Structure formats: C-alpha cells, structure tokens
Structure 1
Amino acid sequence: MWFSRHCAYTMSKYGMSMCVLGMHEEFRKDNIAVNAIWPRTAIWTAALDMLTEGKGKQMSRKPTIMADAAYIILSRNSRDFTGNFCLDEDVLKEEGITDFSQYSYEPNAELLPDFFVPGAEFQAYLPWKKMFEKSKI
C-alpha cells in the first residue's frame, strides 16, 4: 500500500483531520474557526532534507507558501469559513495569485506533489521511490 513507509505519519494526519471536523463544530458557537491547510507540493523542511539527503530541495517549495496561505485563511470571517480542508496553492489562487515562482527554489524544476493530496500518490511515487531507495531510512 502507498502509506506502508509512513503509517504513523498517515495516522497522525488522519487524527488531525478528525480534530478539524470535530472542533469546528464544537467552537462554531463561539465564532472560532478551525480549518486545515495542506501543501499541494513537497515543502522543503529539515525532515525532507533528512529523508532525501538534501536531494529534494530543487523539487520542493519554500515554507513561505504555507505562511502566506495561512495568513489568508486566518484573515477570513470565522463565522463563514470553518471546517475546511484547504490546499495552499488553491487558497492563493482564490486571492488572484497565479505566479508561484517566488515559492520555488528552482523556478523551472518539476515539483513533487505532496503524498497526501488525492491522486498525488501515483504521480509522485517514482521520484520519491528513487530518493527513498537511496536514503538511509
């Protein structure tokens, strides 16, 4: 199965998703919004650096894309926008942002889709597989 190498991580993401669904209803009466944000592509972090032994950076985006998307989500009306699962890129597109080159380390490089975006597990499988096979984990 596609999540066999990261079962605990998958379970934690599922648990966080269930928290969004439950907490958005629990806190709705207090006008507190609870939403989730996911990256559409790989985001360069220390964890990804370790997993790819530094080879995934050019195929990843900068963490600032998540910060910008989170700012937009947090600026929305909490009464109207709660219980949502958002993709960083989609949030930015809704605000009219179409040039994502500022978020790339290599503007023309092919980006790795995030494993947890529907359909991405098949698109991303081969590049990730090659990197994982060469890694120490």
Structure 2
Amino acid sequence: MQLVLRLIINAFALWLAAYLVGAIELVSPEDEVGWKIIVLLAVAGVFTLVNALVKPIVKLLSLPLVILTLGLFLLVVNALMLMLTAAITEITDYGLRVDGFWAALVGGLIISLVNWGLGLLLGDEI
C-alpha cells in the first residue's frame, strides 16, 4: 500500500512540476487523457525506482558537498534524479522531457515540496 501511495504522490508531483515549469513536459503517444495518465504513472514508477535505488548512493557520495552547503546541494541531487528519469524515459517515444538543468532544479524543488507537504498530511503511512 505504501508503494502505491508513494507512486500516486510522485505522479501528482511530476504532473504539477510539468504544469508549472514550461521546460518540463510529459509526452504521450496520443493526446487523450487515458494515455496521459498511463504515461504519468509509468514516469512516476521510473522516478520512484530512481529515487529508491540511485539517490541514496548519490547522496552518500556527495555528503561532503551537502555538509559544506548546509544541505542545499540536495536540490542539485533532486535535479539530477529528475534528469536521470528523463534520460531513462527518453528511450521511448513518450515519457518525461526536461530541457536543461535549471528547469530540472525548479522541477526538483516543486517535487520535493509536494512530497514533503503530502507526507505531512498523510503522516506515517508513506
């Protein structure tokens, strides 16, 4: 249940980031709502896997920079995870497209804030 809830939260956060940041978009093969939801859930699944498998390693390796910048480097790590998700999903004709590092940084900040806010609302369930 926690994995499904985390997937839905990440899907909402990715949708919001794509909606608010013009350089981030979700590309679907058809312009129908059903396809967009399927693509959004697939991208959220990849994003969840990247955050679960790659992000802890990157955070550990960048620990001196995180300490030196008092945690602000974690925003860069979040941007890199979003860019990695986009690179993985660009293999297909649909998925997440991120145009540049600054868009990824703002998108990563939006995703982090949504995850934090919904995590506070839902408590220990996620």
TM-score of the two chains, using structure 1 as the length reference:
0.30
Q: Which structure has the larger Rg over C-alpha atoms? A: 1
The structure whose residues are more often helix, as a share, is 2
Q: Which has the higher contact order (CA 8 A, sep 6+)?
A: 2
